[in-house]
Chains A and B, each alone.
Chain A
Amino acid sequence: MLRASVIVFPGSNCDRDVQTAIERVTGFAPKMVWHGDASVPSSDVIVLPGGFSYGDYLRCGAMAAHSPIMKDIVAKANAGTPIIGICNGFQVLCEAGLLPGALLRNASLHFICRDVFLKVENDQSFFTKCYRNGEVIKVPIAHGEGNYFADDETLNRLEGEGRIAFRYSNAQGNVGAETCPNGAQRNIAGITNESGRVLGMMPHPERLYENALGGTDGRRVFESMLLSTLEAA
């Protein structure tokens, strides 16, 4: 049994994609929860989907981070409920202070929508345990503001504590400036919090979870959330 809740903000546009991905991969349909609600129903996993919440006004994710439901989400995160933020959801997690750093405008100033290669760097966390460290996966990105920024002290801490889940790489797993699509510092595509139970990632695993979509490399994010939940039960 997996009780997942997908939070729907005004301007979310990947909420139904992730709803379908969770249901198809895990067999359990998530609840869709409106951002204006005061609380999230008791959940094994909370998902902040991609999109353009509040039209990206002020800064992407800034308004959503102050939505009525976010107080409960922050409280639940601090109490250990696993949370995944994808794309705009990652931006919301940073703005809400659940993950360090910020997502800036892509260095190229272009909106980038294409498949990228990611090197898996943490195969122990709640949402990544079905991957293997060092393997290279192909997952799409679709964002204008995915340029991860944090100060050097924070970046060193993330690296030292093994909290970088995914880095942009080439197909061979080499990580360098030339394999970074958006200017993200140290090629960071996804990070976790201290406990590994909150993951933010810019790429969209819900867009590649079965062969009909062109690939299955995103599938194991959802298999991981099911396995982690079952192991804890």
Chain B
Amino acid sequence: MKAKIKITLKNGVLDPQGKAIEGAIKGLGISGVGDVRQGKYIEVDLSESDPAKAKALVEQMCKDLLANTVIENYSYEIG
């Protein structure tokens, strides 16, 4: 199975990289662009075939390492 994990900054956490990207997109002359927030995308191959067990593993790796829950949220799909 493969876990596809998205990590994003929580609302209210300043995202200067997102702001810089927003400025760069607008610099291309593209109109109608609002707020930009950036994050991380991580894929993890899992040998576990049981969906419930795989979910528990992904939860653990997100909480303990991949996301810092002081500043970040995470979400994932397993398939």
Contact = CB atoms under 8 A, between A and B. Distances in A.
Contacts of B17: 105, 109
Chain A facing B: main interface SS = loop
A147 interface: yes
Contacts of B46: none
B33 interface: no
A34 interface: no
Nearest to A108: B16
A15 interface: no
B65 A183 contact: no
Q: How large is the interface on B (under 10, 10 to 19, 20 to 34, 35 or more residues)?
A: 10 to 19
B66 A102 contact: no
A223 B68 CA distance: 34
Contacts of B68: 59, 62, 95, 102
A150 interface: yes
B57 interface: no
Contact of A66 (B13, B65, B71): B65
Task: List the 8 shortest-distance A-B pairs measured between CB atoms, nearest first.
Answer: A102-B70, A102-B71, A109-B16, A107-B16, A105-B16, A102-B68, A109-B20, A59-B68
